[in-house]
Amino acid sequence: MPNFYAQVASDGRVIGRCEYPQPVEHSALVPVSEEQYGQPGLLFARYKGGQLSGTASLLTADKGELSADGVDAVRVRLLVGDWMSRLDESFSGPVQVTVQGQSQAIQAVKGAATFAVTSREPGLLRIATLGLDRNAELYVKAVKPGER
């Protein structure tokens, strides 16, 4: 049976993962379960105090296109989870979000927030989180008024 490990840098960031047929002891290797090893968020986790931790975000929109009239809005849902992508209902606080490079703090409560995005310019809008261990990005198309 394989032995699974997270490779940890001196600052606690997980920088790799590996498996060996025999147990290995090394100061940079932390044993993890097979489930943890298979999580895509493992490479965004941190190891501190004997625990893996980290924050991840997910952005979804109620529609993929809006009219670039400054009125039509896309409702964006922000979810904040742990490094294993489980909703973190204990998370309440601001999350930095950028829309086309303009940053603002969105207040999440119990790991979730909803906010509206509008545009006056047609084109592809990039919406992204900043400052989390695993950030998310979402693209929404703004079309000329009357083209929808």
Q: Can you give the pLDDT at residue 33?
A: 95
Q: Can you give the pLDDT at residue 8?
A: 96
Q: Can you give the pLDDT at residue 46?
A: 92
Q: Can you give the pLDDT at residue 148?
A: 66
Tell me the domains of the chain and their CATH numbers.
3-53 (no CATH), 55-143 (2.60.40.10)
Q: Can you give the pLDDT at residue 66?
A: 96
pLDDT along the chain (148 residues), means of 10: 94 94 95 94 91 94 97 97 93 96 96 97 97 95 87
Spell out the SS3 assignment of the chain. Answer: CCEEEEEECCCCEEEEEEEECCCCCCCCEEEECHHHHCCHHHHHCEEECCEEECEEEEEEECCCEEECCCCCCEEEEEEEEECCCCECCCCCEEEEEEECCEEEEEEEECCEEEEEECCCCCEEEEEEEECCCECCEEEEEEECCCCC
Q: Can you give the pLDDT at residue 119?
A: 96
